[in-house]
């Protein structure tokens, strides 16, 4: 029965973390985001899903090689996509959903159950 109590505790931990994360989420996600390359040669706008909506090139783009233009375009696109997602401070409730505490606890419980089932109680 001890394992069932532990599983219930883990379930409660997950439930509490989800509740806290939802409670601290910003009300809505941005509708779109725009980013500009450092040199201003590329400006990218993405829609709410992060898909490319608009690209504007500055006059300096003619000076760039194909590889430089590709790198600037993709870096600027990533910056615009990242601007859609609100920052999650390391100690936030939403960030806590991404640690491995629950996975480690479940692994401990199941490994112990396997040992007990084999008669190798530790």
List beta partners, residue 43: 36, 56
Query: Which of 1-5, 41-45, 97-101 is predicted with the least confidence, judged by mean pLDDT?
Result: 1-5
Q: Which of 21, 13, 17 is nearest to 109 (CA)?
A: 13
pLDDT at 45: 95
Would you call 122 helix, strand, or coil by DSSP? Answer: coil
Average pLDDT in the 99-114 region?
A: 82
Q: How confident is the model at residue 19 (pLDDT cuts 50, 70, 90)?
A: confident
Give CA–CA dist 81/95, Å, rounded: 19
Residues 74-106 have pLDDT tens digits of: 999 999 998 887 655 556 666 666 677 778 888
pLDDT at 26: 60
Count how many Cα atoms sit within 13 Å of the Cα of residue 30 in the half-sphere of its side chain: 15
pLDDT at 56: 94
Query: Which of 49-58, 64-73, 76-85, 102-111 is predicted with the least confidence, judged by mean pLDDT?
Result: 102-111
Q: In a 10 Å sphere around its CB, with 0-12 CB exposed, 13-18 middle and 19+ buried, how is residue 46 labelled?
A: buried
């Amino acid at each position: 029965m001890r394992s069932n109590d532990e599983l219930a505790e883990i379930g409660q931990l997950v439930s509490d973390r989800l509740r806290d994360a939802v409670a601290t989420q910003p009300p809505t996600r941005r509708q779109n985001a725009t980013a500009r390359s450092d040199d201003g040669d590329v400006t990218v706008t993405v829609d709410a899903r992060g898909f490319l909506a608009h690209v504007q090139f500055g006059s300096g783009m003619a000076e760039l090689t194909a590889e430089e233009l590709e790198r600037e375009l993709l870096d600027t696109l990533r910056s615009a996509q990242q601007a859609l997602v609100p920052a999650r401070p390391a100690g936030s409730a939403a960030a806590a959903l991404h640690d491995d505490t629950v996975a480690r606890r479940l692994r401990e419980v199941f490994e112990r159950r396997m040992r007990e089932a084999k008669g190798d109680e530790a």
